[in-house]
Copies of this chain bind each other. A is one copy, B any other.
Amino acid sequence: MRPTPYLHLETRFKRVHVLRSITHLLRWDQEVMMPTGSASIRADQLALLDMECSSILHSKRLAHLLDRAETAEANLSDWQRANLREMRRIWQRSNAIPKRLLNSLHRATTRAEVCWRRAYQEDNFNLLVPLQERVLDVVREKARLLGERLNCAPYDALIDEYDPGRETREIDSLFMALGRGLPPIIDLAVEAQASRPFTLHESKISIARQRDLGKKLMKCMGFPFVKGRLDESLHPFTEGTSEDLRITSKFSELDFMTGLMGVLHETGHAMYDFGLPAEWFFQPVGRDRGMTLHEGMALFIEMMIGRSREFMEFAAPWARRILGVSGPAWEAENMYRQATRVRKSLIRMDADEVTYSIHILIRYELEKDIFSGHLRVRDLPEAWNEKYRQHLGRAPETASEGCLQDSHWPMAYFGYFPTYALGAITASQILSVITRELPDVFDSIRNGDFSGLFDSLGRRVYALGSRFTNRELIEQSTGENLNPDVFLAYLRNKYLPS
């Protein structure tokens, strides 16, 4: 029997996936192992792998196979049809942007990122302005071409990369609800927590032991170390595939909690990847359903599970044993208070669960204005401070504490920021369904039994891969589309006195 066009496509997309899995490993190595002087050959290696992928995705033969497979779609199973849909999606995005533009984008972001580091260190936003403008020019051109191809507004075409099918209009309305709902929760939480102080650990905690603790907790949660690792890097991240997945956290001897929360956040990412449908490992339909869902799954484990009283009751004895510590700082209730402390902090990366989405919606509003040209890059610091005054009641005094704190814009990640808050909403809805399905789930977690939780996450999210659209998946899993009220109710219940 001759292979069908569809099967020919599977062969080609398998090759793309294996190439990408090599890229993942090279990126992990770059952050964790690579000697500092090897950046140049590493750039050559990554560029070559990228070129190999492109040459598969841009071939005329592939376009022809897609057309032919689509006309014979009736013969395919549901999963195969979904796979074909995802192949077309990858093809569209990849072929919308000419190589010349990709090269310009690469050059512009490489220069802007280097400049951003300096601007950040010297607290001088003006340094970055011309290069950020250049990045914006190229991003606008990319968005215009993508929008034409996907038949949507340019900015929506950027969002679509991280959250397939999501539109600005919908995000606007979701974020408006958060903008109204979050500030009163923040105020009330700060007030209520004032009478519940907590104790910070004062002794230095060895990083080797913090890693050992992280591994122990990951093992309890079911992280399969036979196909994964935990390492240390400057920023926590997850790289790899479910066949070889590597997470990192940033550990500090004087700040145990941040390192642990990094471990839990990345474990959330990892468990999603490990739970993807193994039989579709090499195919697009076997991938995760975009960054909103991925960040949602990470926030779910970090914020909703990790920063719960029951999780701390489970983790505190392990922390005391493995870290060799004792005293009031290491009581479960104290650790819970520390992990849920609400603060009107100005730094997104340090933000608590409640304030976090405020940081996101500020960035989303500014990003749309910069992208559309309504806000000039050079006016960003002032606009930033104004937004912070408006939403949090205080503004940063330096650009490094303000609009220079993130590298997303110099790196051209426009459309990425919203995924954090959309992910948090998603996570709260899934939590709501799971606690209805498994009323004792937090009791099990207190006892170190995570099997029910991950079984449910597996069935509802992980194992579906990209079988459905994002919207279908969330509706099927939670019975409704994204609903900010569920997230706000979750926060009120957790953070406000009953």
Contact = CB atoms under 8 A, between A and B. Distances in A.
Contacts of A44: 18, 21
Contacts of A228: 35
A229 B38 CA distance: 11
A21 B243 CA distance: 22
B35 A19 contact: no
Contact of A241 (B41, B225, B241): B41
A226 interface: yes
Interface string A215-248: 0000000001111110000000000010110000
A431 B313 CA distance: 67
A325 interface: no
A227 B37 CA distance: 5
B243 A36 contact: no
A205 interface: no
A33 B226 contact: no
A62 B41 CA distance: 24
Given A29-B25, A33-B229, A38-B227, A18 B48 contact: yes
B37 A226 contact: yes
Determine how many copies of this chain the complex contains: 2
A26 B37 contact: no
A362 to B, nearest CB: 40
Interface string A26-61: 100100011111101110110011001000000000
Contacts of A22: 22, 26, 45, 48-49
A154 B48 CA distance: 36
Contact of A35 (B37, B40, B244): B244
A15 interface: yes
B18 A226 contact: no
Contacts of A41: 18, 21, 241, 243-244
Interface string A242-260: 0110000000000000000
Interface string A122-140: 0000000000000000000
Contact of A37 (B37, B38, B224): B224
Interface string A9-25: 00000010011011001
Contacts of A244: 34-35, 38, 41-42
A351 B243 CA distance: 40
Contacts of A226: 35-37
A378 B459 CA distance: 55
A48 B53 CA distance: 12
Contacts of A36: 226
A9 to B, nearest CB: 17
A52 to B, nearest CB: 6
Nearest to A225: B35
Contacts of A48: 15, 18-19, 22
A49 B52 CA distance: 10
A337 B44 CA distance: 47
11 contacts: A18-B41, A22-B26, A25-B25, A35-B225, A35-B226, A35-B244, A37-B224, A37-B226, A38-B243, A41-B241, A42-B244
Interface of A: 15, 18-19, 21-22, 25-26, 29, 33-38, 40-42, 44-45, 48-49, 52, 224-229, 241, 243-244
Given A19-B48, A25-B25, A35-B229, 10 more contacts: A18-B44, A21-B41, A21-B44, A21-B45, A22-B45, A25-B29, A37-B243, A38-B227, A38-B244, A41-B241
